[in-house]
Amino acid sequence: MTLRSIDPTTGQEIARYEEDDAATVRAAIEVSAATWEDWREVSFDGRAGVLRRAANLLKAEARSHAELMAREMGKPIAQGMAEAEKCAWVCRYYADHAERFLSPERIASDAADSYVRFDPIGPVLAVMPWNFPFWQVFRFAAPTLMAGNVGLLKHASNVTGSALAIENLLLRAGLPEGAFRTLVIGSGGVADVIDHPAVRAVTLTGSEAAGAAVAARAGLRLKKAVLELGGSDPFIVLDDVDVAAVAREAARARTINAGQSCIAAKRFIVLDPIADAFEKAFASELDALTIGNPLDEKTEVGPLARPDLVEDLERQVERTLEAGARLVTGGHRVGSTGSFYEPTLLSDVRPEMAAACEETFGPVAVLIRAGSDEHAVKLANGSDFGLGASVWSGDSARAERLVPAIEAGCVFVNGIVKSDPRLPFGGVKRSGYGRELADFGIREFVNIKAVVVE
């Protein structure tokens, strides 16, 4: 089968890649397993040297990587350069801290000595999405490689060029051949990779359906899985905020990467006393955004990554309007070519409407009114998802009092939800399980080994 890469700005094919056959995939896994036997013995300093060189390359080549992202999936070039530099950050972070995170921990017991070791487990498969084609991979690769494991990457088919560029960059940084390998396969080939006895675990960032399929297959083979799935993040606005300032942040939170982010704010839950003012200010901020070619430095909102994503978004908006919501701004495609959609605000939205209860993967925001702080939290929790949430208030103590009741893997007070190498990242409910990043993330794929000396 041939994998095709289509420029979402023009709709034109920019590259095609022949899928690896079953024999090639098996051989790649076996090379990775053999490479792991040597890589696990490399010192932390040796592994860190590779990641620091990778960080230097990411920073030096940020623009070319950003241009590739723009062509493959439509990310505005400024956002792509920031993504490449964030990848450099995660490489340096684990180069600096992995040895401490994985140092043996002594635990008092009735033995002469007892402690816990954190040992590598072997090849780990990563099934990654297209929306952050470099960051999603490096936030897996940096801790995995520093732990002494090796990585196998099945990237989204439309960003195969990014996948191969990442593999090439790591090789140029000094990573041994086979320690990180891109498998050029479609989703149909994932089960066979999980089944291979040399593959010890799998991590996936993607849709609920993909997560359920991977988890089921990994469970069948008794292999660990970490899942980072969808989100419908609430953005709670209390009635003591600076409305104009928070509306600016709301527009940014919803439209980064054209709204194609699991942790983008999607449900804007606003207390009644300021709801009308916030709606007006929010719509004005959305209208002011520059839509256009992602290779143009002035562009703030690029195209969606594929035509079918625009069609899905259109249907969600139509069903929400048919159910009684009100269109405040946007709501239409832009231009006759490419996969562009206007930043859109829907108001008078109820929790059961499509754009509120489903994940919207594009620049569509819904405004839901709340009668009190407690009502706002109830609305925030009225979702199958639980990835991130934010609470905005002129009184941070008031906002923090709501945090324990919010069902999410992370809660930001007066800030946009984002992933940070220093903090654990992941969700609850149908947003998945397990954690990435920080010390929690690097310990997901190690053997937590108790050692007792009598």
For the chain, domain boundaries: 2-229+431-453, 233-420
User: What single DSSP character describes residue 19?
Assistant: P
Contact 284, 332 (CB under 8 A): no
Q: Among positive and negative, which fits the CA dihedral 386, 191, 130, 422? A: positive
Closest Cα to residue 74, out of 13, 6, 142, 141? 6
Q: What whole-number distance in Å separates Cα of residue 126 and Cα of residue 155?
A: 8
Distance CA 74, CA 292 (A): 10
Compute CA distances 335 → 223, 306, 307, 362, whole Å: 47, 15, 13, 16
> At residue 450, what are phi and psi to the nearest 5 degrees?
-80, 130
Reading the block at residue 295, the tokens are 């290779």
Q: What is the per-residue pLDDT for 78?
A: 98
What span, in angstroms and rounded, lies between the C-alpha atoms of 376 and 125?
39
| CA triple 429-145-49, angle to 5 deg | 140
| Of the candidates 246, 276, 237, 247, the residue with the CA atom closest to the CA atom of residue 372 | 237
Kind of pairing between the strands at 364-370 and 385-386: unpaired
- The residue behind tokens 């960051």 is 135
Same fold, 2-229+431-453 and 233-420: no
Q: Are 286 and 249 in contact (CB under 8 A)?
A: no
CA–centroid distance for 439 within its chain: 18
DSSP state of 187: G
Q: Can you name the residues that pair with 228 across neighbouring β-strands?
A: 205, 432
pTM of the model: 0.97
CATH of 233-420, one of 2.40.110.10, 1.25.50.10, 3.40.190.10, 3.40.309.10: 3.40.309.10
Q: pLDDT tens string for the chain (454 positions)?
A: 899 999 999 999 999 999 999 999 999 999 999 999 999 999 999 999 999 999 999 999 999 999 999 999 999 999 999 999 999 999 999 999 999 999 999 999 999 999 999 999 999 999 999 999 999 999 999 999 999 999 999 999 999 999 999 999 999 999 999 999 999 999 999 999 999 999 999 999 999 999 999 999 999 999 999 999 999 999 999 999 999 999 999 999 999 999 999 999 999 999 999 999 999 999 999 999 999 999 999 999 999 999 999 999 999 999 999 999 999 999 999 998 999 999 999 999 999 999 999 999 999 999 999 999 999 999 999 999 999 999 999 999 999 999 999 999 999 999 999 999 999 999 999 999 999 999 999 999 999 999 999 9
Domain 2-229+431-453, CATH: 3.40.605.10
Active site amino acids: 228, 262
Provide the angle, in degrees to the nearest 10, between the axes of the packed helices 160-172 and 44-60: 130
Residue 67 token pair: 């241009």
388-392 and 410-413 as β-strands: parallel, antiparallel, unpaired?
parallel
pLDDT (0 to 100) of residue 336? 87
* DSSP-assigned states of every residue in 241-296: S-HHHHHHHHHHHHHGGGG--TTSEEEEEEEHHHHHHHHHHHHHHHHTSPB--TTS
Round to the nearest angstrom and report the end-to-end CA distance of the chain.
58
Neighbouring C-beta atoms of residue 64, cutoff 10 Å: 12
- Distance between CA atoms of 319 and 365, rounded to whole angstroms? 14
